[in-house]
Amino acid sequence: MTVLKQGFNVDPLLQKQAACISTMTYNEYWQVIDAGIAPDQLVTFKYEDQGVATLEDGLYTLEDNLSDPAMVDKLTRFIAASMKGWKYAEEHPEEAAGIVLDNDATGAQTEMHQVRMMGEIAKLTAGSDGSLDPADYERTVATLLAGGSDPVITRAPEGAWTHAITDAALH
């Protein structure tokens, strides 16, 4: 087996350079479908179903910022505004797509793709207020430690997350 470094597109599969690729349900998966491959032609393995899903996107800050009241205030307001924006985008996917398209300097994005991505993101965020789920964090750490002779991390992080900002912003 040869492992390829994959970008944010599905070209290796379409060009028959790879027999298997990793995709996100909100992006690359639909690139495969849009390229003319039917869903029933694909064998899909969901990381969640395999017990190895890992956390992806997040917001990060240096620990020292959590002891600076002015920075905590900024972070709290930023999280509150971000989550309000995500909820608005979930409820108004066409408008959200328009905002993305208005700011796409490349001209590569399409309304159909952006609306569909927002619909897929909404499925992933349904029922969440944006706070980190400690069980998801623990599963991620376990998965990253489980790399045999070449783990992604070699010890569990300590003090790597907090609910201090999200608690203040969202509750």
Query: For the chain (length 171 residues), average pLDDT per consecutive 10?
Result: 85 93 91 94 92 88 95 96 93 95 91 93 88 93 91 93 94 82
* Cα–Cα distance measured from residue 31 to residue 17, given in angstroms and rounded to the nearest whole number: 16
pLDDT at 57: 83
The single-letter code of the amino acid at 76 is T
Helix axes 69-91, 93-102, angle to 10 degrees: 120
CA 100/CA 112 separation, integer angstroms: 12
DSSP 54: -
Alpha-carbon torsion, ordered 151, 152, 156, 161, to 10 deg: -160
Q: Which residues of 40-69 are buried (b: 16+ CB within 10 A; e: fewer)?
A: eeeeeeeeeeeeeeeeeeeeeeeeeeeeee
- Listed by start position, the domains of the chain span 11-44, 63-170
- Whether this prediction's pTM lies above 0.75 is answered by yes
